[in-house]
């Protein structure tokens, strides 16, 4: 049976899988039902299944022929702490949790590919299908790698995708080198001296000091980072005070930081610390910075990205494949798999009407029409990779 016909025949099952996962979302490292669901499907298809990697991660392995080459394909499986507002019949059954990023669709596509690969057996080597927990919160990819993912399941290359409502439906968007940013967070506490709002001269007002810090932080990207080095410093929260006649003891500022180059990342941290401390000192106060480095930048490898581009053009046509002019400022923990093994990460567009909700929006829902595209492409990519000599 031709691949297209096989995938089309499996479409009702793919939709059912996706909507079942959507109705039962689970947060990172707590995807127990999801993990068992995936493992059961893989076992029924004849895969060798390993569970409990990074607590709830699953790897399905399929071997065929005598080839020594191996490929890994990753799907993320976790949901988000968002109250769903889609109104669909298969909406989340868990208050405050939903699949608002399409990981339900990513998982269903890879399970669809799992079926096609097992039925066709049109490859020579080993396929590892990696179902990764906690992409959204706890860096499940890094946990899997640290627990010996690639020692247990050697991969010559690894690939992953993400749906993107801001790109045209069915468009493959990729790029060599950086494609997603490193993300860090700074929590700044300004230590003042509280008192009565009518007697400000007897206090050290952390709100005024904090406001000055917020404004000064805006100069870092504009005046300390080279214009050709993409970076972002965003003050996302400022917490202080409780009433108009009370000057509080402290103010708290939360800053999100995005970058690509390690040297720029270091400079951003250095300047944030320096500006915070110097601004506070100028107001006669003290400020502390709790700086946490999160996901590294996602860096695609040239050879694997070239292979991915060629496969996408064969699959969808040159008009459906674009090289991104610039990387996205979002982050992705697939970065840690790419640091250990060569590979590539890309986007698959899902925009049809232009009215689609963005990722992480309470009204977002994965476009089921992408399921056969993703499942078929993963199948062709794996078969092509393991046919190479």
Pairing of strands 343-351, 157-168: parallel
- The whole-number pLDDT of residue 3 equals 78
327 is written with which tokens?
A: 């990387």
Quick: pLDDT tens for 167-213. Answer: 999 999 999 999 999 999 999 999 999 999 999 999 999 999 999 99
26, 84, 135, 156: the catalytic one is 135
Annotation says 135 is catalytic: yes
Total-model pTM = 0.93
Strands (E) in 294-331, as ranges, are 298-300, 321-323
Q: Check residue 1 and give its pLDDT.
A: 54
Is 76 assigned a catalytic role?
A: no
3-state SS, residue 95: coil
Predicted confidence at residue 76, as pLDDT, reads: 98
What is the Cβ-side half-sphere exposure of residue 216, based on CA atoms within 13 angstroms? 18
Out of 26, 31, 76, 78, which one is annotated catalytic? 78
Which residues of the chain are under the pLDDT cut of 50? 389
Q: What is the pLDDT of residue 137?
A: 87
């Amino acid at each position: 049976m031709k691949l297209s016909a096989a995938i089309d025949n499996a479409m009702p099952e793919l939709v059912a899988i996706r909507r079942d996962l959507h109705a039962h979302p689970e947060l990172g490292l707590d995807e127990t039902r999801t993990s068992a669901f995936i493992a059961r499907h893989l076992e029924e298809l004849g895969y060798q299944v390993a569970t409990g990697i990074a607590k709830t991660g699953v790897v399905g392995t399929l071997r065929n022929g005598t080839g020594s080459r191996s490929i890994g394909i990753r799907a993320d499986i976790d949901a988000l702490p968002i109250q769903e507002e889609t109104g669909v019949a298969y909406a989340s059954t868990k208050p405050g949790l939903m699949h608002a990023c399409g990981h339900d669709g990513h998982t269903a596509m890879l399970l669809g590919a799992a079926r096609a690969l097992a039925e066709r057996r049109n490859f020579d080597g080993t396929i590892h299908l990696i179902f990764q927990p906690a992409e959204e919160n706890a860096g499940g990819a890094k946990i899997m790698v640290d627990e010996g993912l690639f020692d247990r399941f050697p991969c010559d290359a690894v690939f992953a995708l993400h749906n993107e409502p801001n790109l045209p439906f069915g468009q493959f968007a990729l790029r060599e080198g950086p494609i997603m940013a490193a993300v860090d967070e700074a929590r700044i506490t300004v230590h003042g001296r509280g008192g009565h709002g009518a007697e400000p001269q007897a206090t050290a007002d952390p709100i005024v000091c904090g406001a000055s810090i917020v404004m000064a932080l805006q100069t870092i990207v504009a005046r300390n980072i080279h214009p050709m080095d993409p970076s972002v410093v965003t003050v996302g929260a400022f917490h202080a005070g409780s009433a108009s006649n009370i000057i509080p003891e402290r103010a708290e500022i939360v800053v999100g930081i995005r970058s690509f180059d390690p040297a720029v990342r270091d400079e951003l941290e250095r300047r944030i610390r320096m500006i915070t401390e110097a601004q506070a000192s100028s107001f006669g106060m003290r400020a502390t910075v709790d700086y946490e480095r999160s996901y590294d930048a996602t860096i695609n490898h040239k050879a694997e990205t070239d292979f991915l581009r060629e496969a996408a053009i064969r699959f969808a046509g040159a008009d459906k494949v674009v090289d991104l002019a610039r990387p996205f400022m979002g982050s992705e923990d697939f970065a840690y798999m790419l640091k250990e093994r060569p590979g590539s990460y890309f986007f698959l567009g899902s925009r049809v009407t232009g009215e689609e909700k963005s990722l992480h929006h309470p009204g977002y829902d994965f476009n089921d029409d992408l399921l056969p595209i993703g499942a078929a492409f993963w199948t062709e990519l794996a078969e092509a990779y393991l046919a190479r000599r």
